Amino acid sequence: MIKLLNWFSAGRTSGKYTLPFVVILLSITVLASAANLLLPQDSALYVSTYSITLLGKYLCYAMLALAVDIIWGYCGILSLGHGAFFALGGYAMGMYLMRQIGDRGVYGNPLLPDFMVFLDWKELPWFWLGMDQFWFAMVMAVLVPGLLAFVFGWLAFRSRVTGVYLSIMTQALTYALLLAFFRNEMGFGGNNGLTDFKEILGFDLQADTTRVSLFLITAILLAVILMLSQRILSSRLGKVTLAVRDSEARTRFIGYRTECYKVWLFVYSAVIAGVAGALYVPQVGIINPGEFSPINSIEIVIWVAVGGRGTLIGAIIGALLVNYAKTRFTAIMPDGWLFALGALFVLVTLYLPKGLMGLYGQLTSKRLTKGEQEAAS
Amino acid sequence: MNAILTLCLLIGALLPFSVAHAATGEATVQSGSPMLLELTKTKLSKMPAVVEKLEAEGGDAYLPLFRTWLAGNLYYVKSNRSLVEKMGSGKQVTFQAMFSGDPMPDLKKKQVKKVKVNNKLRGKLRSVIARIQLTSEDSSVREAAVRELLAKLDKNVIGILEGLHVKEQNLDVKAMIATALSLYAASDKSNSQSVRLSAIEDLSDSLENDVRNGLTKLTNDSNKAVAAAADEALVSINQRVERYALVDQLFFGLSLGSVLLLASIGLAITFGVMGVINMAHGEMIMLGAYTTYVVQLMMPNHIDYSIWVAIPAAFLVSGLMGVLIERLVICRLHGRPLETLLATFGISLILQQLVRTIFSPLNRQVSTPTWMSGSLEINPVLSLTLNRLYILAFALLVFMALVLLLKKSSLGLNVRAVSQNRNMAKAMGVKTEWVDAMTFGLGSGIAGIAGVALSQLTNVGPNLGQSYIIDSFMVVVFGGVGNLMGTLVAAFTLGIANKFLEPTTGAVLAAILVLVFIILFIQKRPKGLFPQKGRAAE
Amino acid sequence: MSTLDQSLQGLRDTFRRDQVWPFLAPEQAQVDVGNQMILYVEGLNLSFDGFKALNNLNLYVGDGELRCLIGANGAGKTTLMDVITGKTQCDSGTVYFGQNHNLLTKDEADIAQLGIGRKFQKPTVFEEQTVFDNLELSLKTDKRVLPTLFSRLSPSEIDRIDEVLAIIGLRKQRFMKAGALSHGQKQWLEIGMLLVSDPRLLLIDEPVAGMTAQETERTAELLTSLAGERTVIVVEHDMEFVRSIARTVTVLHQGSVLAEGTMDQIQNNKDVIEVYLGEEQDDEGNLAGVMA
């Protein structure tokens, strides 16, 4: 344990913005929560519960973007299927929340969720067993995406499927899951998914305090995962990861089993996505197969691209910005959003290959060189 | 392959005949015949007798009358008791005179009364119509009439059929009549056992539904030998039916394969030859389908020919769009495949939304030219829909044209040169930028043509392309990138596999299984079925 | 009865205390160089689409030797290196590292960990990382995932890196990104990455391409100083350079060994003269032009 702490504190300088960023992130979340719970509704500084939930949702997306950035920005694996891991985590949480409804459903069956009664099922399918235990559901939310990522990654990376091929395979993976989860026979509520949740761990999901707590938990977990990831990526393992991204063959000739590195990083990333999904569902109140659709997964990638891949903070900022823009945009002109998103894809790849963080880096370095020149003259 | 060619030839041969058979005997009828007046007066229970009298009186000439009656569209005007035919349905009902066909726009619903018809009468009408048709000039009408009668054979009918059997010249009709006679002979208990057994023997190679029903009845016959023979005949018939069902499945598989082929050869060019992954490929297909829709809107009176305009138009529209995308976006992302993927995905979003804004998000119906509708009936249990047959032939045609183009033309030579060694080609004076644009235009244009074909099979909507993009990628990857022959084999393999899985697993699970199979396949052979070998492949 | 005996015996063998189970036994990492030979290449064949890149190639390299491989383009030099390092699978033949390591059954990472280092024709370094990081990655350490995650540079490792930095003359550039180095410096960095990993056998593909005369000289010095302790195989087109370092030269032609010997022997070898004259007549007209 001490060894682990030692390791954690020995982070090098590469993530110098991480700590300030985490401080800002946490203070904003605490302030917003306080503004919601402590201030009266008519106060100018009051933050509505709706906004809190929205912010919580954004933070889940940010976590998801972080997951994609770890493998795309640092390891060069462009996954177009991370929505699948997110959704699987979400379904695990959804199943727990579904079991918590108990006999308060429309049909009042104490054991079976409504949709199973509707389908005239007599008993709970085996994979729903144990899902009424919170800890078990949470283990599943991490384990299932991790396991899927492991199997897929092991198969794909071992046979050296790379680049565009791999991207298409990941997309096919999430597409296959989309088709599967649409089926009623799968036992996950088919088309409608899981919804009408009542409470989590005995707390009413509609209550302000529950919502704020979920929001705070999301922010804290995001901060923890950010710092952990930063630490991992600044270790020698992170250097190997970058090496794999820039020249996988060379890395292999130095003696690293690159496929192992890729598999574990992929699993780590999938687990983060699963956690994000599990946090997302109680805040949004629904999970359905739509989350598996390939377009969702590819949208995550553009968040990362906008923020700047290869910088963890960039991914988070990108996710927050793009989603905020989406919310505003769809409110003003619903039809315009897809145009804007499409244009974003094209423009960012053409003109901002390193994203906003890259732009910031360029500007500062320009100013620096200018300053140096002036000093020299 | 050979079978496909034979099919193509068959289609070509059948085209002139497939136009719907229209005019049957249309003699002038005195609309004031007293028998016709009876129609409007007689009670329903006495009606069958009237029908028989009418048949005796007019025969052929009353065929339209019987048909209209059977369909429940026969009315008479209350004031003068003249017969009229109801046209249209719902609120837009109009009437026209029964025999002359003169429109009667002034006639209101209140002024007419329906000539009633019940089930018993319908049966009567059907057999009367069949009997009349038995003497028709057109052999296919006669054959259909005999088939119609199979279910309701009685002494009278058999009498007529026996007479016809001798006179009949057409072999198909003759065989059908023979089947009818055998069926009757087999089920007639007054016949001797040997006659019945030989009749059953004759029936055992018929695929008619009614024959099967008749034989099923006979399996419960009191005569044990007859029952056993009927059972045996049924088994052999069912085996053949199953075999034909297999052929049917194969056909649907080939049809799906041809769609996949059309959708993916464009991709095989842009991805395989240029190494550019174009996520907007599906939208090129969609643009082609919408082009078909627009062309049909512009020439509503010539739907039959619209397709010949739509094919080049779709090629141009999608092709130009492809060139535009290549020049504006893709050429700037050279050597960055993942970025290209993202940018083209953005383009696909924009194109989809554009179509939604212009044409509405709802699906549009594209009408099928008459010569493409209908089906080719090989036998009673196997009929191949013509539009699928045409698309199958069309896909192969496009494929061959493309292979020829790449092998023989100077563009093809340039494309191959650039794909194998870009820098060398450049040094040799090949305008690589121009070749890139043309290649991309060609790939996109073919996607547009695929859209024309798809518009004949499914509804045209903004999401049309999306549903094919992943499948097309799978085909290209499965077949081996940069290998057109591989694409062909992969498309048909996947199409057939999908359709053969479907009956046991259901459509969705079949699609999933095929996807999983390809994912596993790529593990084993990352370069597809037909990989490119050697140093160039590195 | 006898089957029972056998199985009992098998059981006893399984539980013998003085032996570990075969799958638990550590793989013998030591390279057995009993016959003074470190690399055995025998009967190697490989064809690409009908083109025979390697044709029944036999090559033996002694421990501590400095061997030069020469030959025209397409003679199979780089392909041979690809096969030895596991990048390319050959059609038939055997490649042994020492007497106990069959290289054909291992992949690139295994082969590298056995102590075979490779420098590519085109310098490939990790351009986004600093020179120091490049060397750190190449250190001879436990290269599995978890040990790498928790690894820290020990003082002796830092010393080792500093030492190599001095040898390759990149001390000042240690915190520069490798992508910003000049072509020659990248070549040196790549050699440094080989050195820091402390290999038994170095395969070096065209080390002096793009180097100045001075740098070339230093490279020659470095390579000769390496030989003895390590085994070095150099592929090079620059005949001046080969002459300056080589003791033994192997000439490859159309995928097999044409001649082997000292530089003087090679220059006077009939076959070599014939092949080179036949090929180069139009340009040079004589062997000296090629060999000098």
pLDDT tens-digit readout, A203-248 = 999 888 999 999 999 999 999 999 999 999 989 999 999 999 999 9
Distance in angstroms (rounded) separating the CA atoms of residues A73 and A354:
10
**C-beta atoms of C51 and B533 within 8 A:** no
Q: What is the mean pLDDT of residues A40-65?
A: 91
Distance in angstroms (rounded) separating the CA atoms of residues B234 and C149:
72
Tally helices (H) and strands (E) across chain B. 21, 6
- Least CA distance to C118: which residue of chain A? A253
CB–CB of A89/A278 below 8 Å? yes
Q: How confident is the model at residue A287 (pLDDT cuts 50, 70, 90)?
A: very high
**C-beta atoms of A253 and C148 within 8 A:** no
Length, in residues, of chain C: 292
**C-beta atoms of B346 and A294 within 8 A:** no
Displacement of CA A277 from its chain's centroid (Å): 7
In angstroms, the Cα distances linking B121 to A373, B56, B85, B117, C276 are: 105, 17, 18, 6, 102
A338-342, B214-218, C90-94, C115-119: the lowest-pLDDT one? B214-218
Find which of B522, B524, B527, B538 to mutate to test the A interface (most A CBs within 10 Å of its CB): B522
**Among B337, B342, B511, whose Cβ lies nearest the Cβ of A301?**
B342
Residue B331 per-residue DSSP state:
G
Number of structural domains in chain C: 1
Nearest Cα to A146, choosing from A55, A272, A61, A48?
A272
Distance in angstroms (rounded) separating the CA atoms of residues B476 and B487:
6
Q: Is the pLDDT score of B188 beyond 80?
A: no
Displacement of CA B203 from its chain's centroid (Å): 30
Residue C13 lies in a domain: no
Residue C7 lies in a domain: no
Task: Give the model's pLDDT for residue B203.
Answer: 79
**C-beta atoms of B349 and A161 within 8 A:** no
- Helix locations, chain A, DSSP H: 2-9, 18-38, 49-72, 82-101, 114-118, 134-158, 163-182, 208-234, 236-246, 248-254, 258-284, 294-307, 312-332, 336-351, 355-376
Q: What percent of chain C has pLDDT over 70?
A: 89
Residue C18 lies in a domain: no
Task: Give the model's pLDDT for residue C237.
Answer: 80
**C-beta atoms of A252 and C144 within 8 A:** no
Q: What percent of chain B has pLDDT over 90?
A: 15
Structural domain that includes position C115 = 31-261
Residue C145 lies in a domain: yes
Q: How confident is the model at residue B44 (pLDDT cuts 50, 70, 90)?
A: confident
**In the structure encoding, which two tokens stand for residue A251, read together?**
């890395």
**C-beta atoms of C107 and A254 within 8 A:** no
Interface of A with B (CB under 8 A): 78, 152, 155-156, 158-161, 163-165, 167-169, 171-173, 175-176, 179-180, 182-183, 294-295, 298, 301-302, 305, 335, 338-339, 341-346, 348-350, 353
Residue C37 lies in a domain: yes
In angstroms, the Cα distances linking B298 to B192, B276, B307, B359 are: 68, 35, 12, 15
- Least CA distance to C46: which residue of chain B? B534
Residue C17 lies in a domain: no
Write the CB contacts of B221 (distance below 8 Å, at least 6 apart in sequence): B189, B227, B230
What angle do helix axes A258-284 and A134-158 make, rounded to 10 degrees?
Answer: 140
Task: Give the model's pLDDT for residue A304.
Answer: 94
**In the structure encoding, which two tokens stand for residue A322, read together?**
């793009």
DSSP string, A6-45: HHHHT--GGGTTHHHHHHHHHHHHHHHHHHHHHS-TTSTT
Task: Give the model's pLDDT for residue A296.
Answer: 92
Burial A323-335 (b: 16+ CB within 10 A, else e): beebeebeeeeee
What residues of chain C lie within 8 A of the CB of A7, using their CB?
Answer: 150
Displacement of CA A75 from its chain's centroid (Å): 17
Length, in residues, of chain B: 538
Distance in angstroms (rounded) separating the CA atoms of residues A344 and A352:
10
Domain at C70, CATH number:
3.40.50.300
Residue C289 lies in a domain: no
Task: Give the model's pLDDT for residue B27.
Answer: 39
Q: What is the mean pLDDT of residues C214-233?
A: 85
CB–CB of C35/C58 below 8 Å? no
**In the structure encoding, which two tokens stand for residue A40, read together?**
């009266």
Displacement of CA B289 from its chain's centroid (Å): 18
- Helix locations, B329-385, DSSP H: 337-359
A249-253, B56-60, B442-446, C221-225: the lowest-pLDDT one? B56-60
What residues of chain A lie within 8 A of the CB of C129, using their CB?
Answer: 239, 242-243, 246
A11-20, A101-110, A326-335, C263-272: the lowest-pLDDT one? A11-20
DSSP string, B95-159: EEETTT--B-TT--GGGEEEPP--HHHHHHHHHHHHHHHHT-S-HHHHHHHHHHHGGG--HHHHH
pTM for the whole structure: 0.79
DSSP string, C239-289: HHHHHHH-SEEEEEETTEEEEEE-HHHHHT-HHHHHHHHHHHTTTTSSHHH
**Among A236, A247, A264, whose Cβ lies nearest the Cβ of C151?**
A236
Q: What sign does the CA torsion over B286, B291, B292, B298 have? A: positive
Write the CB contacts of B451 (distance below 8 Å, at least 6 apart in sequence): B284, B285, B286, B287, B288, B289, B290, B291, B292, B314, B318, B464, B465
Domains of chain A as residue ranges with CATH? 19-363 (1.10.3470)
Tens digit of pLDDT for each residue in A96-116? 999 998 888 888 888 888 888
Tens digit of pLDDT for each residue in C91-106? 888 999 888 888 888 8
AA identity, residue B291: T
Q: What is the mean pLDDT of residues B520-538?
A: 62
Residue A199 pairs in a beta bridge with A204
Tens digit of pLDDT for each residue in B313-362? 999 999 999 999 999 998 888 878 888 888 999 999 999 999 999 988 88
Q: Collect contacts of A334-337 with beta carbons under 8 A, ≥24 apart.
A: A335/B353, A335/B356, A335/B357
3-state secondary structure B265-300: HHHHHHHHHCCCCCCCHHHHHHHHHHHHHHHHHHCH
Task: Give the model's pLDDT for residue B1.
Answer: 44
Q: Is the pLDDT score of A73 beyond 90?
A: yes
Q: What is the mean pLDDT of residues A129-137?
A: 91
Mapping DSSP to helix (H, G, I), strand (E, B) and coil, where does residue B140 land?
helix
CB–CB of B487/B476 below 8 Å? yes
Tell the residue number behind the tokens 């780590």, with chain if given: A268
Distance in angstroms (rounded) separating the CA atoms of residues B155 and B161:
10
Displacement of CA B326 from its chain's centroid (Å): 36
Q: How confident is the model at residue A338 (pLDDT cuts 50, 70, 90)?
A: confident
The Cα of B537 is separated from the nearest Cα of chain A by a number of Å equal to 14
**Among C85, C112, C148, whose Cβ lies nearest the Cβ of A236?**
C148
Task: Give the model's pLDDT for residue B23.
Answer: 37
Q: What sign does the CA torsion over C170, C173, C176, C179 have? A: negative
**In the structure encoding, which two tokens stand for residue C208, read together?**
């002096």
**In the structure encoding, which two tokens stand for residue B141, read together?**
């009408």
The ipTM, to two decimals, is 0.84
Task: Give the model's pLDDT for residue A74.
Answer: 94
**Among B337, B342, B515, whose Cβ lies nearest the Cβ of A345?**
B342
Q: What is the mean pLDDT of residues C198-221?
A: 85
Write the CB contacts of B101 (distance below 8 Å, at least 6 apart in sequence): none
CB–CB of B424/B327 below 8 Å? no
**Torsion of Cα atoms, B263 then B269 then B272 then B278, to 10°:** -70
Helix, strand and coil content of chain C, in percent to the nearest 5, comes to 40, 25, 35
Element (H, E) at B75: strand B74-77
Q: What is the mean pLDDT of residues B266-291?
A: 86
Residue C288 lies in a domain: no
Task: Give the model's pLDDT for residue B538.
Answer: 38
Q: How far apart are the two ends of chain B, measured CA to CA in Å?
A: 33
Q: What sign does the CA torsion over B251, B257, B262, B263 have? A: positive
Q: What is the mean pLDDT of residues A57-72?
A: 96
